[in-house]
Amino acid sequence: MLNWIWLGLMLVSIAYASLVPGRMAEVGTAVMTGASSAITLVIGLVGAMVFFLGLVRVAFDAGLRDSLGRALAPLARRLFPAVPSDHPAMGAMVMNMSSNMMGLGNAATPFGLKAMSELARLNSLPGVATNAMVLFLAINTSAITIFPPFGTIAVRQAAGSADPWAIWLPTLIATTCSTVVAVTAYFLLGRLAVFRPRAMANPPPVPEAVPQPEIEAQAAEPENSEAQGSSWPRRLVVGGFVLTVAVGLGLEMARLIPELGAAGTFKEIVRGWLLPLLIGGLLLMGVASRVRAYDSMIAGAREGLDVAVRIVPYLVAILVAVAMFRASGALDLVIGALDPYTSALGVPAEVLPMALLRPLSGSGAFGVMSEIITTYGPDSFIGLLTCTLMGSTETTFYVLALYLGAAGIVDGRHALAACLLGDLGGFIGATAACHWFFG
């Protein structure tokens, strides 16, 4: 799908520019400027991406994912009553969801594949998605991510945003709306006769089990842990830090409330304190868990550098195509036709390419987001809404193709409908949250 979208952007740009006098030269210039801006963007993005993915690794080694998994286990048992609590599928689903909540998509995928292959072994109708599979996919494609969208924030930083972190809370609201809508759609659509499970005439064979991903034993030492020793120095560090920051926060609130009121103080605290407190909290988790934070940071930073390098070809390809499409005038034509309708709903037509591409391709959507904020500015309403949309949902079609294929599923029943409704819920949630926060 992305192949045809990319080809369409390139060919339509050239074809349309050939009909408009003087536009072909602008399209040619856009090729070079688009490629240059992609590399410039990546250079600015590398530092932030390396640092923040390194911090996530500190939390990972400190056992945050395992803690989230234990917290999610009771909820998972209620959501998936047909799956035995001691079945391998349940453990894999819990670890997948906890990894997604931390924004660790690469870590979540192996657990997701394992979960689907194990759910296939509980399936009495081979080739047809079970209720557990459909619900798991709905949660997966709309997973709530409690950690900030570091990649998007890094792009905003590289684009010169005055407040790169402004999108964190709107994104959390949007992805929560996406998950609520997707899960609700699963329950409502499952009642329709058209989506009831039916045996297939020639069911495919049950696929072989996916090997279990390596899960750190809860009692084991973290990879970058310090030797066992007295715990009082760590408690002193954690307690002293928390006490000092709490006093400072109280003094700051006492100073701001008379000037800004309660609501204004909350926004100011969120704007100025959220990032430092997040960094401090992740580092304290490492201290409390005897993790050598610096070593974990370096290990995670290397992974962040690999991610930044991998996205360069995608960014160049998409940014050049969109720059050509914009320079040809074809994008202005599309926006002009749609703007009267979308503006009435509070949605600038300029963000629609991002909204339409997000379910199809994560890398493609990342490139389109980068091009939009470069054109309109990272702190414009269009830029803020585009960045919020990036973190509101997952790459729906990719996830469905990957996970249904792992389980040998041909009939996905209402999985696609529930996931796309979740995407729509995320879009509406992102729009409402951005209007609330940014006007």
Cα 181 from Cα 344, distance rounded (Å)? 23
**Considering only CA atoms, which of 56, 26, 8 is closest in space to residue 279?**
56
pLDDT at 334: 80
Cα 3 from Cα 119, distance rounded (Å)? 32
- 237: Cβ contacts below 8 Å, ≥ 6 apart: 284, 287
pLDDT at 289: 82
Three-state secondary structure of the chain: CHHHHHHHHHHHHHHHHHCCCCHHHHHHHHHHHHHHHHHHHHHHHHHHHHHHHHHHHHHHHCCHHHHHHHHHHHHHHHHCCCCCCCCHHHHHHHHHHHHHHCCCHHHHHHHHHHHHHHHHHCCCCCCECCHHHHHHHHHHHCCCCCCCCHHHHHHHHHCCCCCHHHHHHHHHHHHHHHHHHHHHHHHHHCCCHHHCCCCCCCCCCCCCCCCCCCCCCCCCCCCCECCCCCCHHHHHHHHHHHHHHHHHHHHHHHHHHHHHHHHHHHHHHHHHHHHHHHHHHHHHHHHHCCECHHHHHHHHHHHHHHHHHHCHHHHHHHHHHHHHHHHHCHHHHHHHHHHHHHHHCCCCHHHHHHHHHCCCCHHHHHHHHHHHHHHHCCCCHHHHHHHHHHCCCCCHHHHHHHHHHHCCCCECCCHHHHHHHHHHHHHHHHHHHHHHHHC
pLDDT at 176: 92
Cα 277 from Cα 292, distance rounded (Å)? 19
- The pTM of this model reads 0.71
pLDDT at 217: 38
Query: Which residues of the chain carry a pLDDT beneath 70?
Result: 1-2, 41, 44-45, 49, 104-107, 200-201, 204-230, 271, 307-308, 310-311, 314
> For the chain, which residues make up each domain, given as ranges?
2-51+64-212+311-329+358-438
pLDDT at 433: 93
pLDDT at 317: 81
